[in-house]
């Protein structure tokens, strides 16, 4: 069972906006550790798309953005495109476990 | 270009050992913490172990504590994971992951392609 809670799947039509939530606890997100989001396509290496407060690595479009409220962080994907279809994982650091924690992953489907 | 290339995976029997290696290039290894993260096919990501830039701070998931040992050789640009007393539940793809800074809490940024470890009799 994953420490961070994500919905198993979200879907949307091309051009729409989808949102993925990531809920943690007082020992990770609530302890002010940054949350990162990774895009993962089967057979490839996970790719960092957003870190902390909407820091995007070079090449990641600004269609990806984050918002935070308490112990929850949400990733929004605006202007959904076919290439966005993938698994998305949130990640943070946990002081109790003294290591990284991940969500179980959310499968984004473009209808 | 940052590259992380894992090796050493394969089929091993329960109770036996395997040693994974990760060859790093495109950056100065001693400037960064490093980690191992695994994924059971079809399931989510699980952090396994991490090591600070200077070997002073090591961490392990409870599921592998006492069985796995992480180490690094900055001079050889390499990260290692010694896996002993392997269990069927250790079957997974193991990823070598770079931290974004020298200390373990620094978030992960670059990942390797992974190496598959299968534990079965």
Report the residue of A100, A101, A105 to disrupt the B interface, i.e. the one with the largest count of B CBs within 10 Å.
A100
Looking at residue B13, its pLDDT comes to 98
Looking at residue A43, its pLDDT comes to 85
Give per-residue pLDDT as tens, B53-99.
999 999 999 999 999 999 999 999 999 999 999 999 999 999 999 99
Q: At A95, is the pLDDT very low, low, confident or very high (cuts 50, 70, 90)? A: very high
Please list every residue in chain A whose beta carbon sits closer than 8 Å to the beta carbon of residue B46: 102
Do A105 and B45 lie within an 8 Å CB cutoff?
yes
Percent of chain A exceeding pLDDT 70 equals 100
Size of the A and B interface in Cβ pairs below 8 Å = 63
Do A48 and B44 lie within an 8 Å CB cutoff?
no
Do B108 and A104 lie within an 8 Å CB cutoff?
no
Distance to chain B for A26, nearest Cα, Å? 16
Q: What is the 3-state secondary structure (H, E, C) of chain A?
A: CCCEECCCEEEECCCCCEEEEEECCCCCHHHCCCCEEEEECCCCCCEEEEECCCECCCCCCCCEEEEEECCEEEEEECCCCHHHCEEEEEEEEECCCCEEEEECCEEEEEC
| A31 in B contact zone (CB under 8 Å) | no
If you average pLDDT over residues A1-25, what whole number do you get?
95
Residue B42 gets the label, from left (phi > 0), alpha (psi -120 to 50) or beta, of: left
Residue A54 has pLDDT above 90, yes or no: no
If you average pLDDT over residues B98-118, what whole number do you get?
96
| B112 in A contact zone (CB under 8 Å) | yes
Q: At A49, is the pLDDT very low, low, confident or very high (cuts 50, 70, 90)? A: very high
């Amino acid at each position: 069972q994953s420490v961070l809670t994500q919905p198993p799947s979200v879907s949307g039509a091309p051009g729409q906006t989808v949102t993925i939530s990531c809920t943690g606890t007082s020992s990770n997100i609530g302890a002010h550790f940054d949350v990162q989001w990774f895009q993962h396509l089967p057979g490839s290496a996970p790719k960092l798309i957003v870190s902390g407060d909407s820091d995007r690595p070079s090449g990641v479009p600004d269609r990806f953005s984050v918002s935070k409220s308490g112990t929850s962080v949400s990733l929004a994907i605006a202007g959904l495109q076919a290439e966005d279809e993938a698994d998305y994982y949130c990640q943070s650091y946990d002081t109790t476990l003294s290591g990284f924690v991940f969500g179980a992953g959310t499968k984004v489907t473009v209808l | 270009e940052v590259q992380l290339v894992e090796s050493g995976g394969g089929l091993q029997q329960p109770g036996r050992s395997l040693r994974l290696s990760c060859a790093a290039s495109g950056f100065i290894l001693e400037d960064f913490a490093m980690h191992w993260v695994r994924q059971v096919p079809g399931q989510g990501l699980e952090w396994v172990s991490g090591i600070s830039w200077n070997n002073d701070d090591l961490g392990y998931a409870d599921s592998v504590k006492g069985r796995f040992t992480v180490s690094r050789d900055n001079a050889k640009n390499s990260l290692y994971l010694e896996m002993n007393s392997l269990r069927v539940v250790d079957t997974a793809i193991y990823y070598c992951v770079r931290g974004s800074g020298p200390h373990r809490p620094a978030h992960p940024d670059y990942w390797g392609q992974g190496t598959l470890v299968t534990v079965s009799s």
